[in-house]
C-alpha cells in the first residue's frame, strides 16, 4: 500500500489518488516514483475513505500548522474522499490550515460546481496556471479535455472569491516571455503567481 499521508521538507501532504485529468510535461511523476519521506507514491488501488480515515487517525499532526492535498494525482479526481478527509481534518484539527494543489479542472471532471463546497473545508488553493494562453496550456498541461484553459480560468475566478487565499503556479519549463505573460495574466486576474523551478 502506498503512503496516503507523507512528509516532505517539514510539510505534510495527502496522496489520496493517483488519478489525474492531465499529463503535464513537467509532472514529477514522470521523473520520480517517491517524494520526500514517502516510501511509495503509486497506489495499488486508489484509497477508500476507510483507508484515508485510518491514515489520518494513525498520523501525528501535532508538529504541523498546514496540511496539503496534493499527492501523485489530482485530488479533485477523488472528490468525495477529498471532502470527507478535509471535513474530518477540520473536526480533529480546527487550527491546521488546509491547502489544495489542483489543476483547476475538477468541475469539468466531476461535471458539477465544486469550488464553493471545497472552500467550506479547505482554506487555501494553489492552481496550476501552467501557461499564459489556451494554446500553450494544451501543450504544457495535455489535459484530457478540449479548450480546458477557459474552464481552469473560470474555476480560478470563482475560487478567488471563496478561498481564504488563491495562488497560481507556473513551472519554468515555459519560456521567459511566457512567464512574463503569465505574470501579466495573473495580475489582471488579481491572483498572485508562483514560478516553480523544474526539478
Cα separation, 164 vs 152, in Å, equals 19
Q: Is 54 or 195 the residue whose CB approaches ligand SF4 more closely?
A: 195
Closest distance to ligand SF4 from the beta carbon of 62 (Å): 29
- Rounded to 5 degrees, what are φ and ψ at 101? -100, 115
Residues 188/162, Cβ–Cβ less than 8 Å: no
Q: Is 102 or 186 the residue whose CB approaches ligand SF4 more closely?
A: 102
Closest CA to 137 of 72, 181, 73, 75: 181
- Residue 93: count other Cβ atoms within 10 Å of its Cβ: 16
Closest distance to ligand SF4 from the beta carbon of 71 (Å): 8
Closest distance to ligand SF4 from the beta carbon of 79 (Å): 15
Closest distance to ligand SF4 from the beta carbon of 138 (Å): 13
Residues 45/16, Cβ–Cβ less than 8 Å: no
Q: Chain-centre distance of CA 94, in angstroms?
A: 21
Closest distance to ligand SF4 from the beta carbon of 20 (Å): 3
Closest distance to ligand SF4 from the beta carbon of 60 (Å): 27
Cα separation, 152 vs 61, in Å, equals 32
Interface residues with ligand SF4 (CB under 6 A) are 20, 22-24, 27, 29, 73-74, 103, 128
Q: Is 63 or 147 the residue whose CB approaches ligand SF4 more closely?
A: 147
Q: Is 41 or 67 the residue whose CB approaches ligand SF4 more closely?
A: 41
Q: Is 24 or 153 the residue whose CB approaches ligand SF4 more closely?
A: 24
**Assigned C-alpha cell, 74:** 489530482
- Number of helices (H), then strands (E), belonging to the chain: the values are 7, 7
Q: Is 34 or 53 the residue whose CB approaches ligand SF4 more closely?
A: 34
Residues 128/79/9/179 CA torsion (nearest 10 deg): 0
Amino acid at each position: 500500500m502506498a503512503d496516503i499521508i507523507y512528509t516532505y521538507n517539514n510539510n505534510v501532504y495527502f496522496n489520496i489518488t493517483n488519478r489525474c485529468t492531465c499529463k503535464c510535461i513537467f509532472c514529477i511523476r514522470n521523473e520520480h516514483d517517491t517524494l520526500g519521506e514517502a516510501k511509495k507514491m503509486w497506489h495499488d488501488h486508489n484509497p477508500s475513505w476507510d483507508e484515508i480515515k485510518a491514515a489520518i487517525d494513525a498520523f501525528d499532526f501535532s508538529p504541523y500548522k498546514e496540511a496539503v492535498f496534493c499527492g501523485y494525482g489530482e485530488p479533485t479526481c477523488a472528490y468525495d474522499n477529498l471532502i470527507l478527509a478535509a471535513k474530518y481534518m477540520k473536526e480533529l484539527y480546527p487550527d491546521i490550515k488546509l491547502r489544495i494543489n489542483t489543476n483547476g479542472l475538477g468541475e469539468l471532471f466531476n461535471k458539477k460546481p465544486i469550488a464553493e463546497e471545497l472552500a467550506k473545508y479547505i482554506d487555501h488553493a494553489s492552481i496550476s496556471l501552467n501557461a499564459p494562453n489556451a494554446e500553450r496550456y494544451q501543450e504544457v498541461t495535455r489535459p484530457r479535455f478540449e479548450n480546458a484553459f477557459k474552464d481552469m480560468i473560470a474555476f480560478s475566478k470563482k475560487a478567488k472569491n471563496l478561498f481564504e487565499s488563491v495562488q497560481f503556479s507556473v513551472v519554468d519549463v515555459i519560456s521567459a516571455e511566457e512567464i512574463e505573460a503569465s505574470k501579466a495574466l495573473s495580475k489582471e486576474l488579481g491572483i498572485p503567481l508562483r514560478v516553480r523551478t523544474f526539478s
